[in-house]
Amino acid sequence: MNKAILNYFDIKDGLIFMCSVAFTTLAGYWLFGVNALMWTSFSSMFTYSLYDARPDRSNHLYVFFLMMIIMINNYIGYWLQLSWLFYVYLFGVACFFHITYGKDPVLDRAVRYIIMLSTIGTTLTSVSYELPVGYLIGTLTVLGILFVLHLKNYDFTAFRNGLFSKELYKSEKHAIPRAFIYSIGMLLSLLIPDFLQLGRIYWAPLTFVMVLNPKAEHVFKNTISRFAGSFLSVILLMIMLATGYNASVIILASFFVISFFLPTFLDKTPILRSFGVTFFVLAMTEIALYWNDPVYSPLFERLYETLIGGLLAIITSIVLKNIRAIQ
């Protein structure tokens, strides 16, 4: 039984990722303070995820290039805010994601993070040097550690067969209407929370893009599982915050524990993926931005927004399924 448990968890990758996150977050905090924690932790997770997209090979330069594009999208969201220009931009990115999905697994993950970070950028009131420096610390550190401890076969065709591939942009004519439907669902996942004036409007589109991909199956089941995982992570954080003075220490310690299990969770069931990713992101967000906020209702709003994004994903998937049947 003990052997089965050990086989279930990816101990090597867990240790590598946990050590990477610990080093980058602590280095970011020591150099630039608490505001850098969020960006170093985000970039660490994204970098590891992109590197791990292909099980047998990777390209460090390609991962770094995509990470810089992800970082720039923080600025795009910040510059455009929730204007009509941002909605046009989000619509275009969603169309691109739908049309190109399945041709490059590294790019598939990167576009998801682009959507996440651009919508997060619309909520920022200011952007300082801590953002790009935090991204560089997280990205370069994780890539360096992976190069030493988890080196894969070098993918010489990553750029040519990835973002700069002509085949990437070719699609059947029937895919265009489906891409539009998908993008409309994405826009609604941002419009509705904004209309309801919820505190963390980016969580609904985040849920939408993670739950529904252009070739998704069992969307309803995955949505329920993701909502359950998000609910559990929020409840756990609320219990930790209720401990009082030492809550930040407890949350930070549990954050590193989750970092160890995250590589395993990412390859397991939707509820584990949702729990791990949600706790990872929320823990850093709460510590970096909202620790002294006496009104803690946004955590409940996180559940509302997850449900909105999940319901829109289900509705959009039903419409897409019917369109495919007609075509």
**Cα–Cα distance for residue pair 30/57, rounded to 1 Å:** 34
pLDDT of the residue at 202? 83
Q: Where are the domains of the chain?
A: 12-171, 196-327
Distance of alpha carbon 247 from alpha carbon 264, whole angstroms: 26
| pTM metric for this prediction | 0.87
> Coil, strand or helix: which one is 71?
helix
For 29-77, how does the pLDDT look when each residue is reduced to its tens digit (9 = 90+)?
Answer: 787 777 777 888 889 989 988 988 887 778 889 999 999 999 999 999 9
Question: Mean per-residue pLDDT for 104-129?
Answer: 89
C-alpha closest to that of 28 among 126, 148, 139? 139
Q: In this model, does residue 138 exceed pLDDT 80?
A: yes
User: What are the C-alpha distances in Å from 105 to residues 55, 92, 116?
Assistant: 10, 19, 17
The pLDDT, as a whole number, for residue 81 is 93
Stretch among 112-116, 128-132, 192-196, 214-218 having the lowest mean pLDDT: 214-218
Residue % of the chain over a pLDDT of 90: 23
Q: What is the mean pLDDT of residues 268-290?
A: 76
Beta strand residue intervals within the chain, DSSP E: 57-58, 153-154
DSSP, res 267: T
Looking at the chain, how many residues does it have?
A: 327
244: left (phi over 0), alpha (psi -120 to 50) or beta: left
Name the band, by pLDDT with cuts 50, 70 and 90, for residue 140: very high
Do residues 55 and 99 touch, judged by C-beta distance below 8 A? no
> Is 69 buried (19+), middle (13-18) or exposed (0-12) by CB count in 10 A?
middle
Of the given ranges (52-56, 99-103, 109-113, 177-181), which has the lowest mean pLDDT? 52-56
| Tens digits of residue pLDDT in 244-274 | 656 667 777 888 888 888 888 877 777 888 8
